[in-house]
Chains A and B, each alone.
Chain A
Amino acid sequence: GENVGLHLPTLSVQEGDNSIINCAYSNSASDYFIWYKQESGKGPQFIIDIRSNMDKRQGQRVTVLLNKTVKHLSLQIAATQPGDSAVYFCAERLSGGYNKLIFGAGTRLAVHP
């Protein structure tokens, strides 16, 4: 896209397969996490969120897993479709203070028919 992901890691999957996108977050004090999807030339779109008192949360075709021990977040997309092709990035919120989010650089998901 014109504005994101020129040098991002890319995950290539076949249509219909499951996708797993990983994210390592930086702060053990973070209490809230969000996954966003960004298509080329558009603003990020909220996908799913999870609080630090949970390990797993499911949405429609998506699941987020949180492993606080190793500070790892993952997004699983079931039955990946061509419309899922985009850049995905995670964000962590530092506990306390205002609602500051720290964003990862993102992973490009390429879905092949």
Chain B
Amino acid sequence: DGGITQSPKYLFRKEGQNVTLSCEQNLNHDAMYWYRQDPGQGLRLIYYSQIVNDFQKGDIAEGYSVSREKKESFPLTVTSAQKNPTAFYLCASSIGGTSGETQYFGPGTRLLVL
């Protein structure tokens, strides 16, 4: 069954703690993305990766870090520097390239601060 998986579904972070959100895809897509969603707002881009071993900052990268060591995996770390991490985090992937490729989303991870 092809698709994008994110884990965990819910994640709790304590003050000063780094937490990592998992994103895996078996669609053989080159490009992967991380978005943050807050109530009443559109999705905002945190980081994106067009190819393995390469990634770029999006619009709200401060307090986050990523890695892209494998094509199918794009984990996101929410660091202690992110002062307002409570949000719904969405991972997406697309075939890649510069043409208008559709981005397909995973089920999301809800991050809450204790």
Given known contacts A42-B108, A43-B107, A49 and B100 CB-to-CB distance under 8 angstroms:
yes
Q: Are B88 and A4 in contact (CB under 8 A)?
A: yes
The CA-CA distance from A12 to B81 in the complex, in Å, is 41
Q: Are B45 and A100 in contact (CB under 8 A)?
A: yes
Q: Are B100 and A31 in contact (CB under 8 A)?
A: yes
A27-69 interface (Cβ within 8 A of B):
31-32, 34, 36, 41-46, 49, 51
The CA-CA distance from A97 to B99 in the complex, in Å, is 9
Q: Are B37 and A96 in contact (CB under 8 A)?
A: no
Q: Are A49 and B108 in contact (CB under 8 A)?
A: no
Given known contacts A5-B39, A43-B107, A105-B41, A34 and B98 CB-to-CB distance under 8 angstroms:
no
Q: How would residues 46 to 59 of chain B score, 1 for a CB under 8 Å from any chain A CB and 0 otherwise? A: 00101000001000
Q: Are B39 and A4 in contact (CB under 8 A)?
A: yes
B60 at the interface (CB under 8 A from A): no
Nearest CB on A from B86, distance (A) = 10
A91-111 interface (Cβ within 8 A of B):
91, 93, 96-106
Q: On chain B, which size bracket covers the interface?
A: 20 to 34
Q: Are B88 and A3 in contact (CB under 8 A)?
A: yes
- Among A4, A5, A43, A102, chain B packs the most CB atoms within 10 A around the CB of A43
The CA-CA distance from A79 to B104 in the complex, in Å, is 26
The CA-CA distance from A90 to B100 in the complex, in Å, is 14
B42 at the interface (CB under 8 A from A): yes
Residues in A whose Cβ lies below 8 Å from that of B105 = 36, 43-45
A103 is contacted by which of B43, B56, B96, B104 (Cβ under 8 Å)?
B43
The CA-CA distance from A93 to B56 in the complex, in Å, is 17
Q: Are A46 and B39 in contact (CB under 8 A)?
A: no
**Subset of 9 A-B contacts with CB under 8 Å:** A3-B87, A42-B107, A43-B4, A43-B6, A43-B108, A44-B105, A98-B31, A99-B31, A105-B42
Beyond A4-B39, A98-B98, 10 extra complex contacts between A and B, CB < 8 Å: A3-B110, A5-B40, A6-B39, A43-B4, A43-B90, A43-B107, A89-B42, A98-B50, A99-B94, A105-B41
